[in-house]
Amino acid sequence: MKTEIDAVVAALPPQPLSQHLFRTKYALPGEATHADLQWRVAHALARDDAQAERFFGTQEGGAVLGGRINSAAGSGRQTTMINCFVQPIADTMSGHVDGTPGIMVALAEASETMRRGGGVGYDFSPLRPRKARVKGTDSEASGPVSYMEVYDRSCATVESAGSRRGAQMAVLRIDHPDIEEFIDSKKTPDFATFGLNPLEVEQLTRLIRTRGDFAWAIRTSFAKLSNFNISVGMLDAFMQACEDDATFDLVHVAEPTFEARRKLCDDGVERFVYRTVRARDLWTKIVRNAYETGDPGIIFLDTVNRKNNLWYCEMLRACNPCGEQFLPPYGCCDLGHQNLTRLVRNPFTADARFDFEALKRNVAGIVEILDRVIDVTEWPLTQQKAEAEAKRRIGVGFLGLANAMAMLGLRYGSSESAAFAAEVAQTMAHAAYRKSIELAKEFGAFPLFDAEKYLQEGTFASTLPDDIRADIRSFGIRNSHLLSIAPVGTGSLAFADNASSGIEPPFDLKAYRSVRTGNGEEREVWEADDYAVRVLHAVRGDDATDPALVTAQNLTVEEHLAIVQAVAPYMDSAISKTINVPREYSFEAFQDVYVHAWKAGLKGITCYRPNEMVGQVLTSAADKAAEEHMAAEEAGLDLRKNDPDRRVTIKNVPDLTQQMRWPSRPDVPAEGRTYAVRHPRGNFAVVVNHWRNGGDHPLEVYIAGNEAPRGLGAIAKSLSVDMRTDDAAFVNMKLDSLLKTEGDDDFEMRHPSLGTTVRMPSLTAGFALLVQHRLRELGALQEQQASPMVDALFSKREPKTGPEGNRGWHVDINNPATGDDFLLHMKELVLPDGTIRAYSVWLSGRYPKVLDGLMKVLSIDLRVSDPNWAAMKLRKLTTFGEVRGDFLAKVPGEARQKNYPSTVAYMAEVLLARLAELDRMSRGRIVVPAIANSAGHGSSSSLLAGGGQQCPECHTMSLHKVAGCMQCSHCHYVGSCG
């Protein structure tokens, strides 16, 4: 029974993007609402009015049928209601081999299928490899990839029904001799090898990142198979060879043009061994390509066939383009999905619950609908019709899982959410099989049904409850397979108001979608809010937030996998799921995801790591804003070629932040988390403290232990100030910079989120990962509407020069106590008002590589428009001490020497002196605070006075004439009087 809250949610109007997609992709003329379309579909499929009423009720209850069904049923067009097919190919150019069409015949069949609106998957493994003998023409074969290119071009020219382009999936077995050419077939180029300079490469990759149409054009220009998804058909024998670090044979039945030994394979077929490779080398190449380009995916073929209900009459070697259906030759995807958000009662309240009884009813209704589709649809090929009628394969799935979890207060990936996902999947599976048994009682079992073989140990059907298996033996079953989780992207938008797609978490809580219009290739960008967010605001108010609302971008790999593993045991076909990994995710950890998937018994896996060369349809609101700002910023960067000093010029700068305050550590009680770090050069601890004031606020981070690496404490000291700004974006910028730091001190450490061992490129990066993990736990890195610190930067990233170069400043640093001997570099630029500012510092020579991280964060500080910020940070470092690291050095600008507590402290004073010099060169436009004097005067917790001449003691522009004497308002130096 619906409550008042349910009524409020039900009354939410659809978003403009949802309405647009519904009208342009699915509705026929005269159809203004979902109900109009649903009645049309129901009457087109039903045998009689009573069945039409049931079909309409199922759709009204949240069933979202496959896109082809919604657009084709009752339309009068000669288009299929089936989304996707698998097309067989034989190793011959024309004709057939044992009933399987040759290459060109298969191409014609696939083209007809795509013309009618279906996507196509292929197994190209039967095609002979390069260097195979072609007896008819006395020549060498060109290999399967060359024919995939022909299919690729054909797909590009065949417009599917409606506005849908053809979709294709190519599969090649891991033991095929051309497997390496195949996995490189979608690899995009490294532009640095094109003879471009770094600036040109950066400009090109920036265009690729910010212009989706340009990114796609680049991929289609360079990648051989731009109109294919590609997957490697993995075998257990290969995976085991990788585990054992053994060799692996690449084989084929076709005779090669060179002498080759024969091998009797596990399937009893004798094949020629073309090459023998080290399994791990081939594995690394596959995963490296997936890491860098997103392709290929991986299918575990032995796992797929081991669990197949129809093991006795088919071998599964390929899948549909999205990977949720493994299909035999001429097999099809007949899909429907339940919108789970429609079954949540009292969402975002303490009384929230999920209606499992409604789920059972609607799943049964979807089974009846999909079974009927097989009888009434148009079939592109007679072979597809025969295959479907022999097995009556369908795929019932769901959408909105992540949104439903959030509405119930469950965070995606948690143990509670995994248990819920498992219960949903199990309920759906049992309801689907029970309904199929009922249909078998009325209309008969599928023609190839054999009860004993179908229920044999190991098949999916053998895992069903006793009562369902008993009924299958007694009455048969109407459909050989019933369950599949597909990506329901456009369907989720058009029919579910942007509910989360399939099993996936939402990409972002506010996203933009690029939509192809009806005018050729033109695109429009539309904004869409996540459905769960809309429900939350309807229930609790527009300002409401909820920790259960997460996105694909802030979930760990383990959280993604937890949900897939929970659902997989209840799917007789497969799950289309992408594991999102962050860009900084290590390659070693990335490899482990695939190994974990194989050992967990998953049928396949696709991982996505964002990079410049992978275009995307969805763009997060944060990314879009950042791209627009960066593009505007880059337009304002220039190199003053007419200036003999050649300094970069910034044309647009935010207003100086005169009201900013940077207090020292407040005197408050702290709570902390300690992380032990074991490193070959010494063990130490990272301590991250916070304090409670209405919530948890990050307070400081410091390094503890006698073996702590030199310089890391200085980074911690500087980062502590950033943490107290309460500006998540600014802290994130610092941490991201540190995470990318490479050094000679790379090491393995336990990932605090993943619980696995990962290799970090440096001690600095490892430190940053621990801090980032803790701050995320505290909720201190959540996206904010405003970022005063980031907005105060006069350049978000380090401005670049052209080949003409840029003036810089350099100073030698030598500490005999520690052996440090290096050159400190500083780059400088000109602001619109003519002032000269430092904007980047780095080191070269002999020094602890941890200091590279310190230079990175200081470079960001230097780009804050108000120079007091960087000066304050440097002042804090002038007191940074190091055990047995103190030394005597010349005071900048003076003849005298003094003792400095560390190399870092001396660098800080040298940099402060240079900032003061830049102020003089800029005719006093900048107020630059500097170090405290030896007496310890001066406060680092307040803005410095400035506005006068330079003080000879503390180097700030704070020397004023007071009562006839020159006095410093900062360090209280008193000069000559009179």
pLDDT digits (tens, 9 = 90+) for 240-260: 999 999 999 999 999 999 999
* pLDDT score recorded for residue 976: 45
Residue 322 near residue 299, CB atoms below 8 Å: no
User: Is the link from the previous residue into 296 a cis peptide, with omega within 30 of 0?
Assistant: yes
Per-residue pLDDT at 932 exceeds 70 = no
Per-residue pLDDT at 154 exceeds 50 = yes
In this prediction, residue 98 has a pLDDT band, given cuts at 50, 70 and 90, of very high
* pLDDT score recorded for residue 1: 63
Torsion of CA 386, 388, 392, 395, to 10 degrees: 180
727 shares a domain with 655: no
CA dihedral sign, ordered 489, 495, 500, 504: negative
* pLDDT score recorded for residue 783: 76
Residue 762 near residue 853, CB atoms below 8 Å: yes
Q: How far apart are CA 817 and CA 820, in angstroms?
A: 8
What DSSP assignment string belongs to 268-284? S-EEEEEEEEEHHHHHH
In a domain, 425, yes or no: yes
Structure tokens at 685: 């601890």
Per-residue pLDDT at 318 exceeds 80 = yes
Per-residue pLDDT at 216 exceeds 70 = no
796 shares a domain with 776: no
In a domain, 150, yes or no: no
923 shares a domain with 977: no
Mean pLDDT of the chain: 84
Instruction: Taking residues 155-172, report their average pLDDT.
Output: 66
Q: Which of 242-251, 321-330, 893-902 has the lowest mean pLDDT?
A: 893-902
Instruction: Taking residues 204-222, report their average pLDDT.
Output: 66
978 shares a domain with 891: no
In a domain, 683, yes or no: yes
Single-letter code of the amino acid located at 850: V
Highest mean pLDDT among 469-483, 691-705, 804-818: 469-483
* pLDDT score recorded for residue 943: 27
In a domain, 209, yes or no: no
Instruction: Taking residues 78-99, report their average pLDDT.
Output: 92
Last residue of a domain, one of 748, 783, 818: 783
In this prediction, residue 527 has a pLDDT band, given cuts at 50, 70 and 90, of confident
What DSSP assignment string belongs to 191-243? GGGGT--HHHHHHHHHHHHH-HHHHHHHHHHH-TTTT-EEEEEE-HHHHHHHH
362-365 long-range Cβ contacts below 8 angstroms, 24+ apart: 362/58, 362/61, 362/62, 362/63, 362/338, 363/338, 363/396, 363/427, 363/428, 363/431, 363/432, 363/435, 364/431, 364/432, 364/434, 364/435, 364/438, 365/54, 365/55, 365/57, 365/58, 365/61, 365/63
Per-residue pLDDT at 506 exceeds 70 = yes
506 shares a domain with 422: yes
Triad 320, 392, 227: Cα angle to 5°? 15
**pLDDT tens sequence across 583-629:** 788 899 999 999 999 999 999 988 888 765 554 444 455 555 444 44
What is the total count of domains within the chain?
4
Distances (CA, A) of 485 to 26, 429, 502, 750, 850: 21, 12, 6, 34, 47
Residue 505 near residue 551, CB atoms below 8 Å: yes
Instruction: Taking residues 717-745, report their average pLDDT.
Output: 90
**Distance from first CA to last CA of the chain, Å, rounded?**
92
Q: How far apart are CA 230 and CA 121, in angstroms?
A: 9
Per-residue pLDDT at 634 exceeds 60 = no
Q: How far apart are CA 575 and CA 326, in angstroms?
A: 10
> Phi and psi dihedrals of 348, rounded to 5?
55, 35
Residue 110 near residue 120, CB atoms below 8 Å: yes
546 shares a domain with 504: yes
* Maximum separation of any 2 CA atoms in the chain, in Å: 115
779 shares a domain with 797: no
Q: How far apart are CA 334 and CA 575, in angstroms?
A: 15
Q: Which of 624-628, 670-674, 696-700, 721-725 has the lowest mean pLDDT?
A: 624-628
775 shares a domain with 836: no
741 shares a domain with 807: no
Instruction: Taking residues 180-192, report their average pLDDT.
Output: 78
Q: What pairs with residue 85 in β-bridges?
A: 120, 332
Report helix, strand or coil for 132: strand
In this prediction, residue 371 has a pLDDT band, given cuts at 50, 70 and 90, of very high
Task: State the CATH number of the domain containing residue 339.
Answer: 3.20.70.20
In a domain, 288, yes or no: no
Instruction: Taking residues 794-813, report their average pLDDT.
Output: 80
Burial of 414-441, coded b for 16+ CB within 10 Å and e otherwise, reads: beebbebbbebbebbbbbbbbbbbbbbe
- Percentage of residues in the chain with pLDDT exceeding 90? 57
Q: Which of 54-68, 153-167, 234-248 has the lowest mean pLDDT?
A: 153-167
Instruction: Taking residues 499-517, report their average pLDDT.
Output: 79
Residue 794 near residue 654, CB atoms below 8 Å: yes
* pLDDT score recorded for residue 353: 97
In this prediction, residue 830 has a pLDDT band, given cuts at 50, 70 and 90, of confident
420 shares a domain with 560: yes
Closest CA to 697 of 757, 777, 636: 777
Highest mean pLDDT among 160-164, 512-516, 853-857: 853-857
Closest CA to 943 of 877, 872, 864: 872
Last residue of a domain, one of 931, 951, 967: 931
* pLDDT score recorded for residue 552: 85
Highest mean pLDDT among 79-83, 840-844, 865-869, 924-928: 840-844
* pLDDT score recorded for residue 54: 97
Q: How far apart are CA 826 and CA 810, in angstroms?
A: 6
In a domain, 648, yes or no: yes
Closest CA to 241 of 252, 250, 231: 250
Q: How far apart are CA 330 and CA 347, in angstroms?
A: 43
Q: How far is CA 1 from the centre of its chain?
A: 40
Q: How far apart are CA 891 and CA 46, in angstroms?
A: 91
Per-residue pLDDT at 164 exceeds 60 = no
Q: Report which of residues 195 and 771 the model is more confident about.
A: 771
509 shares a domain with 421: yes
500 shares a domain with 365: yes
Distances (CA, A) of 737 to 427, 584, 790, 796, 858: 47, 11, 14, 12, 11
In this prediction, residue 112 has a pLDDT band, given cuts at 50, 70 and 90, of confident
Pairing mode, if any, of strands 335-339 and 395-399?
parallel
Q: Which of 662-671, 701-710, 896-905 has the lowest mean pLDDT?
A: 662-671
Last residue of a domain, one of 754, 783, 812: 783
In a domain, 611, yes or no: no
Per-residue pLDDT at 298 exceeds 80 = yes
Per-residue pLDDT at 496 exceeds 80 = yes
In this prediction, residue 276 has a pLDDT band, given cuts at 50, 70 and 90, of very high
* pLDDT score recorded for residue 162: 41
In a domain, 241, yes or no: no
Kind plus residue range of the DSSP H or E element containing 336: strand 335-339
Quote the domain boundaries for residue 949.
Answer: 943-978
In this prediction, residue 522 has a pLDDT band, given cuts at 50, 70 and 90, of low
Q: How far is CA 632 from the centre of its chain?
A: 25
Residue 170 near residue 231, CB atoms below 8 Å: yes
* DSSP count for the chain of H helices, then E strands: 31, 40
Torsion of CA 210, 216, 220, 224, to 10 degrees: 90
Sheet of strand 395-399, all strands in order from the earlier edge strand to the far edge: 63-65, 335-339, 395-399
Q: Which of 308-312, 371-375, 719-723 has the lowest mean pLDDT?
A: 719-723
Report helix, strand or coil for 766: helix
Residue 318 near residue 327, CB atoms below 8 Å: yes
**pLDDT tens sequence across 435-464:** 999 999 999 999 999 999 999 999 999 999
**pLDDT tens sequence across 855-889:** 999 999 999 888 888 888 999 899 999 888 999 99
Count, residues in the chain: 978
* pLDDT score recorded for residue 975: 53
Tell me, what DSSP letter sits at residue 834? S
Q: What pairs with residue 758 in β-bridges?
A: 749
Per-residue pLDDT at 5 exceeds 80 = yes
Q: Which of 58-67, 776-785, 877-886 has the lowest mean pLDDT?
A: 776-785
